[in-house]
Structure 1
């Protein structure tokens, strides 16, 4: 608990705030008094998340789900406002520590108290499941301890049994170490998943340890799916019941009614282990000494109709409308050259057809944007030379300065122009998401060509369409090479924790999802650790394949040198983010998977390469052919949309697959996510003589020649 900060309001929805209970990426939780003087916890969502209509819909769902629960072991909803500028939810306040904190401070629980804890939580889950819900995040931090018994909290990711997922298949929802194997695999879950999580919670309370160990999330998820739990220290009278809860097969787990019968009826007397009653009492007494702040202004007025916008973004969009197409510094425009290169076909009836502007967003100092611009310009010019066209295309490029803030500003300026029908996002994982938000606000489609962060999985449900596999769908080219060509008995996944958040999805894809045919093991390397030790362990089995899961060329190069010095002879593969001079100098023979082709070496893009040489005087760089395809894909959709233009464009692009020179663009009907199943735009390269040499398209890997 923390004192309020000067920037905090003193009142929200009639609740007088007294302290901060916690804060995270989604918002802040306050301790407050209701109008009836009852203590409550008020969860307030940050305005930037409330700007997303999808997030606001999920918050409404959380309120609806939590309001269904009225049992004694869940926390009732007292009030909520999903339409406020910053949506909020007030629940009863439980003045006690979490189970996680209690175990950390006072150690494992005896069997008698474990039975009482399990009985109450099983009863809570019985209510949850009877209401047609699955909690999906039962963990020690979500169990609060009060004098009269525990409370199961945080239904923010609960979902109705059988409801359609709001996230992509393969996206883990829950907390590693306490989620079920089916959750770890990104599969649909039901009540047995909560039973598994309850088993993890009871084992943690009994031993003081996480049942599937510690370390990086990828390793914990892998052990959850493939290894047996560590139940050493669980009391003998409960061990078999906990082991059944932790069965890999959901059908083999006990039902919640069976758990309730085995654990008995909760008894409040003596349910807390020695040492915890004083802690619970001390937490309850702390609220009595909290000062109540002087009133300050707070905006809890209803949001206007339509997608909500934060004041910052509203000011930004207004400024963009006033400024039009002139600016200084980051986000400045540079215009296409006149004539054919500006997108107006000379002698092609310029002015007699409507014009559709394609905006291109990226960092002008990044070679990737230059490649995009050159490839896109060829597509625009080819379109405008077609006498059968019903509209002209123009290309307009904006500089995002290579920053997230610049990306949001530049995208807002582009979409403020009603002539702009679609944006192409050439930015990185670090810059693309603000552009997604700006396009969502203006309802302008955004085609993402380069970025692959798994955070785009949810963005794909707005106005954005991602034209490549995200990290949730894994590195298809290197996986296919290992499975179809190398066929190793074992692959060692070297997970560089320098970039753990960025690379976790790759590790999960090849381990938890079992995408590699042979055995897989994970070696985690801390950011300050060298690769000597792991290289020696790998070299003891010199024919093992190695998949480097990292995002830095220097770290990949260090791994390559360590493996070479240790005498390893097996295949080594990595993803595109490690490409750079350090890797090329150190990793001879390594294979790298990318989402861009070599337009000169790839037979399917040779004609484009010839046109590029003629138009720009040089061979196409990486991403030029992908940008060419993106413009042609947009033009195809705009033709189908007709007079409706950008308002109908996304629906037309989703309607049916489209074949380009680099990939087949297709989106699945259920989640609208990019489908890499056929000709999905994945490519394989080999480091040879200090250079990256094209090997094959992913679909051609392993085919007879």
Structure 2
């Protein structure tokens, strides 16, 4: 339990917030007083989910089902509001100790106490499933130990039986180490998944360790899918039942009704192991002594409804944050100015402004400005154009604050119909909520961050293939050309969250042929030990899963020193001067095309004529972004409003010079087609040389 932050509200739906109970990917849980004075646990869902109508419909349905759930062993949902700016739900607050904390403090439980714990949790799941719900996140942290028995809590990612999953297939919801193999694969989850998770919880309670071990999430998920659980030390009387719960196939697991027969009924006499009753009682007593806090800064700031924000105020706010929204940080392309006809018969065309947001001291952003400018000039040179285009480049200084302020300045201008997010992983995500609130379509060309994985709930479209789908070009190269027998994946835990999708793609989802072994390298460690292990099989393939160039360079140097001779691959995020010096011979998968790509021939000629050189990385992608936006704005039957642009862009595939833009109907992610926008490079002589686009690999390499 923690104090409220200055950014937390003081009130939600008439409930007075008192403290923080926890936070996760879906939102924040607060301890609060209801309008009637009762203690409640109030979960506030992250605001971006409020933009997803499918999520809101599911949230309403599931909270309605949960309010009907009546079980001694669950915590009832008291009220909820799916229409709030940030949807929320309130459950009864039960003071107690999470099972995860109890195991960490006091170790494994004796068999009699685990059996009675199992009886209560099986009864809880039976009631949950009878109510038409699947919990999907049964783990020790979601089992609350109260004085009168356990409670299964947190239905924040629960799913109504038979409903569409919260995320598309290929995504993983739940907690690694306790979720089922079908969850790890990102496929449909039913009641049997909860049985598997219950088995993991009970094994952990008996042995003091999770059955699929510890470590990085990717390694745990891989063991869950492909390896047998560690059940050493299980007592004989519970061994058979728990082994059945942990069957890889959902069809082979017992039902919760069968488990209730096996575990018997809850025994309230001394159900907690020695030492825990006093801890639970002490934890419950803390709530009684809590003072009501002063209003948070956020609540004080919005005590009165704020006045409508004018364009002038937004621009002033941008300037205060160091971003010249209309001044020195803004560049108007000469060929992008409105074209007003003169004389009889001349028509005046409306102007659609496209913003470009990024750090203008960065060469990749400057390259995108030039590429986007060529698209604007080409559009304005067409006699049949329905409108003129203008390009406005805003400098975000490469920071999140600058990105948010720059996006606000662009959004304040009604002539701005789209924004190209040309910046970095650090900056671009901060522009997403600003553009979403304004109904302004944000087109992301370069950033590749896990923080952009939920943009299907916003007004944003990611125009590039991402690590969520894996480093496509090198995977195709390995499978089509190299045919590896064994690949060692060096998983750099310094970039654990950002690199996890790549590791999942080649392990859990099996997108790489042959045997795959994962070697985890801790954030503070070097790569010498891993390189020596790999060098025991010097001709094996190595895939570096990391995103820090200096770490990649160190890995490359360690492999060379250890005598590794096999193929080595990575993705674009490792590229730097240091890596190019150390990584001779590596194969790299990128999301940007190269001037040597035949499909860029006309663009390259136009770029050379205007700027006197070949286009750099991401220039062609920005050129496509402008053309894609213009295509959507001019769509037949469209209303031309910026709020409608994203829907028009999703309506049908569009072919650019870099890739085919086609989006999956449910997830709204860029489809991973053969022409999905991956490009293969080879490090030679201290530079990355273009080899082929993804769909040509195996034919020309």
TM-score by length of 2: 0.92
Residue 131 of structure 2: aligned partner: 131
CA offsets, 1:66-99, max 9 Å, x none?
Answer: 3232211110123334445665433222221111
Residue 518 of structure 1: aligned partner: 514
The offset of 1:160, in angstroms, is: 1.0
Task: Identify the match of residue 528 of structure 2 among 509, 527, 532.
Answer: 532
CA offsets, 1:151-182, max 9 Å, x none?
Answer: 00000001112222332332211111111111
Determine if the alignment matches structure 1 residue 436 to structure 2 residue 432. Answer: yes
Secondary structure at 1:460 match in 2: helix
Residue 659 of structure 1: aligned partner: 655
Task: Identify the match of residue 474 of structure 1 among 449, 470, 477.
Answer: 470
d(CA) in 1 for partners of 2:519, 2:146: 41
d(CA) in 1 for partners of 2:190, 2:466: 27
Residue 307 of structure 1: aligned partner: none
Q: 1:685 to 1:132 in 2, by over 3 A?
A: same
The offset of 1:440, in angstroms, is: 1.0
CA contact (8 A) 1:654 1:666 kept: yes
Secondary structure at 2:518 match in 1: strand
Residue 558 of structure 1: aligned partner: 554
CA RMSD across the alignment: 3.1
Q: 1:8 to 1:517 in 2, by over 3 A?
A: closer
Q: 1:302 to 1:172 in 2, by over 3 A?
A: farther
Q: 1:7 to 1:286 in 2, by over 3 A?
A: same
d(CA) in 2 for partners of 1:7, 1:338: 40
Deviates more, 1:555-564 or 1:27-36: 27-36
Residue 611 of structure 2: aligned partner: 616
Residue 462 of structure 1: aligned partner: 458
Determine if the alignment matches structure 1 residue 202 to structure 2 residue 202. Answer: yes
Residue 335 of structure 2: aligned partner: 340
Secondary structure at 1:182 match in 2: helix
d(CA) in 1 for partners of 2:57, 2:310: 23
CA offsets, 1:344-366, max 9 Å, x none?
Answer: 59999996222211111111111
Residue 491 of structure 1: aligned partner: 487
Residue 100 of structure 1: aligned partner: 100
Residue 627 of structure 2: aligned partner: 632
The offset of 1:24, in angstroms, is: 5.4
CA offsets, 1:405-457, max 9 Å, x none?
Answer: 11111111112211111111111222112212111111121111111223323
Q: 1:323 to 1:528 in 2, by over 3 A?
A: closer
CA offsets, 1:324-344, max 9 Å, x none?
Answer: 998883244445456425475
Determine if the alignment matches structure 1 residue 154 to structure 2 residue 154. Answer: yes
Secondary structure at 1:695 match in 2: strand
Alignment of 1:205-354 (within 5 A): 205-292=205-292, 320-321=313-314, 323=316, 329-333=322-326, 334-337=329-332, 339-340=334-335, 342=337, 344=339, 352-354=348-350
The offset of 1:477, in angstroms, is: 0.5
Task: Identify the match of residue 589 of structure 2 among 571, 581, 593.
Answer: 593
Secondary structure at 1:144 match in 2: strand
CA contact (8 A) 1:350 1:392 kept: no
Residue 172 of structure 1: aligned partner: 172
Q: 1:316 to 1:525 in 2, by over 3 A?
A: farther
Residue 672 of structure 1: aligned partner: 668
Deviates more, 1:640-649 or 1:138-147: 640-649
CA contact (8 A) 2:321 2:405 kept: no
CA contact (8 A) 1:62 1:155 kept: no
Deviates more, 1:448-457 or 1:81-90: 81-90
The offset of 1:32, in angstroms, is: 4.0
CA contact (8 A) 2:491 2:518 kept: yes
Deviates more, 1:34-43 or 1:462-471: 34-43
d(CA) in 1 for partners of 2:452, 2:383: 38
Deviates more, 1:211-220 or 1:450-459: 450-459
TM-score by length of 1: 0.92
Q: 1:106 to 1:468 in 2, by over 3 A?
A: same
d(CA) in 1 for partners of 2:105, 2:319: 59
The offset of 1:111, in angstroms, is: 1.7
CA contact (8 A) 2:69 2:76 kept: yes
Task: Identify the match of residue 363 of structure 1 among 335, 359, 366.
Answer: 359
Secondary structure at 1:615 match in 2: helix
Q: 1:629 to 1:31 in 2, by over 3 A?
A: closer
Deviates more, 1:215-224 or 1:283-292: 283-292
CA contact (8 A) 2:43 2:89 kept: yes
Q: 1:298 to 1:59 in 2, by over 3 A?
A: farther
Mind listing any 5+ residue stretches in structure 2 that lack a counterpart?
Answer: none
Residue 73 of structure 1: aligned partner: 73
d(CA) in 2 for partners of 1:274, 1:572: 54
Deviates more, 1:393-402 or 1:20-29: 20-29
